[in-house]
């Protein structure tokens, strides 16, 4: 780290990022720039088709941009990094159904570390406990609810002890109660472990409830339409936080911009 770096050091830098699909020549998004400081919780929202999920995949090093760069800790990202874990929306696929819960979590660490097997298992069990699944280590995914399966994915990511967590609509397939529960779990883990989280969602309530900063992408091609700081204290509470005046004001602002973008997007296509 350079001398005189500010206390909130930039961890992730997205610079002029763009993705053009060669098949139909249209851009998913273009000229997106923002930075994420260590320990930040940033949500990325936008209407469907704005390329927010593609953006996150590029940040993870899972696909390549056609313009601009992503760098983490000053190094350009060209492939998945060990200190950056991804949580997918499709937990039924991302969690391997032929492995037990513990084996799924072990998969992330067993090839990475030379520690003896029982020590790794201990680490994994600890992370299963963090997400409230210690009793389910030997269950198989098909025996678990959707919310529990996504908890397995989170435990697997955390067992790698990443600095950064990239989450692609991780809770959108869950029912409302389960989603609220996992939102609070995620906030606890974020504060406890000092994670840096980038969270993609199409649900602006979820974005406002979770994040310190919400970046709103416009409809295709996606560009940054608005950035909102969320000055709400943590720990946040499902009922109280969502009825605070600041929350409601921000919600209105984001909602109006979002609707504009959806309309603009329809007109363009």
Partner 1 sequence: MTWIADRLFNSRFPGLVLILILLAAWQLSALYLVDTPTWPPVTSIFEAWFDNIADGTLIKHLLATLWRQMLGYGLAVVMGVILGLAMGYFRPLYNLLEPLVEALRPIPGPAYLPVLVLFVGIGHEMKVVLILVASFFPILLNTYSGVRSIDRVQFDTARTLGLSTMQTLRELVLPAASPQILTGMRISLAISLILAILGEMIVSSDGLGYFTLLAQRTFKIPDMYAGIFTLALFGYVLNRLFLLCEARLIRWHIESSGRT
Residues 11 and 38: their CA atoms lie apart, in Å, by: 5
Exposure of 81 by Cβ count < 10 A (0-12 exposed, 13-18 middle, 19+ buried)? middle
Q: Which is nearer to partner 1, 117 or 142 (CB)?
A: 142
In the complex with partner 1, the residue whose CB is nearer, 193 or 262, is 193
CB of 130 to partner 1, least distance (A): 18
CA distance 246 to 231: 8
Shortest distance, CB of residue 142 to partner 1, whole angstroms?
4
**Contact in structure between 41 and 64 (CB atoms under 8 Å):** no
Residues that bind partner 1 (CB under 8 A): 57, 60, 62, 79-80, 82, 85-86, 88, 90, 93-94, 96-99, 107-108, 111-112, 140-142, 156, 160
Phi, psi values for residue 147, rounded to 5°: -65, -40
Q: For partner 1, which is the closer residue by CB, 159 or 211?
A: 159
Classify the phi-psi angles of 3: left when phi > 0, otherwise alpha if psi is within -120 to 50, otherwise beta: beta
- Indicate the residue among 8 and 143 with the shorter CB distance to partner 1: 143
CB of 233 to partner 1, least distance (A): 33
CB of 86 to partner 1, least distance (A): 4
């Amino acid at each position: 780290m350079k001398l005189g770096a500010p206390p909130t050091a930039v961890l992730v830098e997205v610079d002029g990022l763009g993705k053009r699909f060669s098949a139909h020549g249209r851009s998913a998004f273009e000229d997106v720039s923002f930075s994420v400081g260590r320990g930040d919780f940033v949500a990325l929202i936008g209407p469907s088709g704005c390329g927010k999920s593609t953006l996150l995949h590029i940040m993870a090093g899972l696909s390549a941009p056609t313009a601009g760069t992503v760098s983490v800790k000053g190094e350009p990202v060209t492939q998945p990094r060990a200190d950056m874990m991804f949580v997918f929306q499709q937990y039924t696929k991302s969690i391997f159904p032929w492995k037990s819960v513990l084996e799924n979590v072990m998969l992330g660490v067993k090839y990475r570390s030379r520690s003896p097997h029982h020590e790794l298992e201990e680490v994994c069990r600890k992370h299963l406990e963090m997400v409230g699944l210690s009793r389910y280590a030997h269950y198989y995914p098909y025996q678990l609810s959707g919310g529990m399966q996504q908890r397995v994915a989170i435990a697997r990511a955390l067992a790698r002890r990443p600095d950064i967590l990239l989450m692609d609509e991780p809770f959108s397939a869950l029912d409302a109660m389960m989603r609220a529960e996992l939102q609070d779990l995620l906030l606890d883990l974020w504060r406890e472990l000092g994670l840096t989280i980038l969270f993609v969602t199409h649900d602006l309530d979820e974005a406002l409830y979770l994040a310190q900063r919400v970046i709103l992408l416009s409809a295709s091609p996606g560009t940054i339409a608005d950035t909102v700081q969320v000055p709400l204290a943590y720990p946040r509470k499902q009922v109280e936080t969502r009825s605070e005046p600041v929350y409601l004001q921000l919600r209105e602002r984001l909602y109006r911009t979002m609707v504009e973008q959806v309309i603009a997007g329809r007109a363009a296509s």
